[in-house]
Amino acid sequence: MLLKTQRQRQAKWLRAIRKIHRTLGIFLFLFFIIVSLSGLLLGWKKHTGDLLLPQTRKGSTVNFKDWLPLDNLHQTACNVLRDSVSTRLSLELEKIDIRKDKGIVKFVFKEGFWEIQIDGTTGKLLHIGKRHSDLIEKLHDGSILDSVMDTSGGQIKLIYTSIMGFALLTFSITGFWLWYGPKRMKKKQ
């Protein structure tokens, strides 16, 4: 009798876990697809030629003492963006990526995800490219919603990543119990 009651409790517990697993799966299905596909693309971004992320070019020297001042390189990048891409784009920078080992500076502009690579020594343009991986990253971590809704502190990203992190943890635990629970019940028979 005690064994039967224990089995019934375990079966009830497994049904509850299955319901949690199924219900969360239904509500978060689209988000899991977005996170998995964007994560896959981000993992491959450096291996797609210039498709997702411009490859880093090489400048003439890695010696900083031979480099032009950063302000001059920045002005060159802004001029290239205006002359070669569009005069309407904002010159506001997302980041400056100095690659001493390659002898270049990458200027990444906020609007349009444009990247301009400049030789640190000569100031010569090495490459203009779009960083599609930055958009994919914003989709992956939910920060695109902060951009769209113009929130200042990344609140939506924090909520999104918290929900997705807890969901993945919940799926891992419930998935394990959906696999292990029946095995455990069979052992006790």
Q: List average pLDDT for each run of 10 residues in the chain, which is 189 residues long.
A: 72 87 90 95 95 96 95 98 96 96 97 96 97 96 90 90 93 88 75
pLDDT for residue 11: 82
Q: How confident is the model at residue 184, as a pLDDT? A: 76
Query: The dihedral of CA 179, 182, 188, 189: what is its sign?
Result: negative
Which pLDDT does position 181 carry in this prediction?
81
pLDDT at 88: 95
Tell me how far apart the 2 most distant CA atoms of the chain are, in Å.
86
Taking Cα atoms as reference points, which of 26, 34, 25, 52 lies closest to residue 143? 34
Listed in order, the ranges of the chain carrying CATH 3.10.450 are: 54-130
87 and 98 Cβ atoms separated by less than 8 Å: no
- Contact between residue 19 and residue 187 where contact means Cβ atoms under 8 Å apart: no
Model pTM above 0.85? no
In the numeric block, which tokens belong to residue 62?
């890695």
User: What pLDDT sits at residue 65?
Assistant: 95
Asked if CATH classification 1.10.3470 holds for the domain at 54-130, the reply, yes or no, is no
